[in-house]
Structure 1
């Protein structure tokens, strides 16, 4: 249970070092985007790379060459998805989620919170961690496509250009029109 033989340990060590070198080399060749968290597909690739690495390390049934091929397939697919989404608006719309506004000008957007399955307390925690003491000080809180919460404070010139790609729910849009 605790120890089978030295061969298993030696295999794990040698394969671990070589697989590590292979994955680092592939990531260096393919660029920073390979391990980004810009969308759900990026996250899936990151998790799948880790799972593949663990399988190569611990399963005697999977050869190092098979694991390196698995790394190449995953990274290649991620590159194809990223390349295509940058060049095709249709494909981008198909695979990428939109950011969701959860709080606008200090007011919770309750329907958006429910749809996104985010509790108001989670939004308040994000506001606090961004250094704001009051929701009224916040222009918006956005649930980003990678699952993180962005807190946008008021700008000195009144501009909200950072929110231009975030759809404002219709109820909040009506509130914004009334406030203007």
Structure 2
């Protein structure tokens, strides 16, 4: 019994190669689905993720059902993922290939319908992001980019922004000058 649990049925090198190839395939598939596929997952996305892991399981482990074979596959996945993540941190070209670039979706209050359609964004998602930034409407947005992680990054137009600390300090200083002038005249 113990021997069967740990006896490898597939050679170590084959197990590593299988795992790396499946990792690359899944990375390409996820990259091909676009940024939208990596943002907020819905229930159908979870179904696909669960089924996908089951579909590629045999491709990773082959005919090997041993604990050792599973451990080799798991360790290989973690090592390859760590290497890819670190390579993306060090190399801008590598990061762009594996992670992608920001996609402009709003410029000067206008929605780029082509970009929104390609990304699979819905209008209510844009509107919600605008409200989260304290904007009233897409017209209040100077720029909006969809980043590779699936986040919508918005910048409000200057006249649509709430007052910040420096604005308050400037107004207080102005009020103090006005009060001094009024006291000097009065």
Q: TM-score, normalised by structure 2?
A: 0.45
Q: TM-score, normalised by structure 1?
A: 0.46
Larger relative contact order (Cα-Cα within 8 Å, sequence gap ≥ 6)? 2
Q: Whose radius of gyration is greater, 1 or 2?
A: 2
